[in-house]
Structure 1
């Protein structure tokens, strides 16, 4: 136990000894000026992106220069709107047929719901109404997600992402025990 502790302490002392720099030399050098682009300094960029996406879906992604997200936004909104309109049409068709049945008109030439019983028509109405409402909630959720995505993307563009701070996962092979090991290298350069 003592030998492991002794090895650990001597390793820490050795690394600390190599890590020392000449402090006077560091004071003599001029600090480097950090160059930032204008968009990274704009504190209103996230709110602008969210506002643009609220006005027209996809416009916030265009403002953030995330052009590949625009088809995803319109694809999601378009698909959910299609299902909303389709379920609304099914609901209206079953409701109109049920109203005709309540008036006493049993023979209709509607190929979709003309052969259903009254109980089946009520079940079709409930299912179509539930699916229509679900499609509406999904559409609203995707619209809000579009706004949140534009806002978060604009926030993340302001972060400093350079090579001074790296996180690199590595899968290495150890020939002594004939196995692969997952390692994580974290480094920070001043």
Structure 2
């Protein structure tokens, strides 16, 4: 384990020794300040609340739109399918209570307890699908809001935290040390 730390230390240390030899003098500040819009996250969230995926279009993250619609459409399909099956088993159970004969051979072979169990299962799945629809809708709004907020952060190369290996040959010793330099 110590050997791995030593190798890691040497790797980062030796790569930064060569980086120290270059010096740059900046005569003029070349950093361009971007205008930060404090309402950008709120706009993106509002657009996504109006129409799912519209906030992602506002943020220019077009690849997320199929994910949003795929998640909501799949949940909606499952909701409709579970509701349909729930209605079939519920109607069959009601018809048996009224004494009517079943039209389906498959449903006729099921007992009343099996019909009740199937109803409860489809009802539970239908309710979970409805929760997933609402959850994906809210997740769409949150994603648009966070993406708009994070898009305004400065992530230029001038912002860095780099480990630097210091060789102190000045004192006639071969001592090594590590420091972290950060620049703005």
- With the length of structure 1 as denominator, give the TM-score of the two structures: 0.69
Corresponding residue SS for 1:188: strand
Name the counterpart of 1:172: none
Corresponding residue of 1:131: 125
Residue number among 113, 118, 127 corresponding to 1:119 in the alignment? 113
Give the match's secondary structure for 2:107: coil
1:35 aligns with 2:26: no
Are residues 167 and 84 of structure 1, via their aligned partners in 2, closer, same or farther at CA, if it must alter by over 3 Å?
A: farther
The CA RMSD over aligned residues, in Å, is: 2.7
Bigger relative contact order (CA 8 A; separation at least 6): 2
Question: Which residue number in structure 1 is paired with residue 72 of structure 2?
Answer: 77
Alpha-carbon displacement from aligned partner over 1:74-123 (angstroms, at most 9, x marks no partner): 00001111111111001000011011001001x32225533211111100
Partner of 2:54: 59
Match of 2:152 in 1: 158
Structure 1: gaps of 5 or more residues = 1-17, 19-24, 169-184
Cα distance change on mapping 1:164 and 1:47 into 2, 3 Å: same
Paired positions, count: 146
TM-score, with structure 2 as normaliser: 0.71
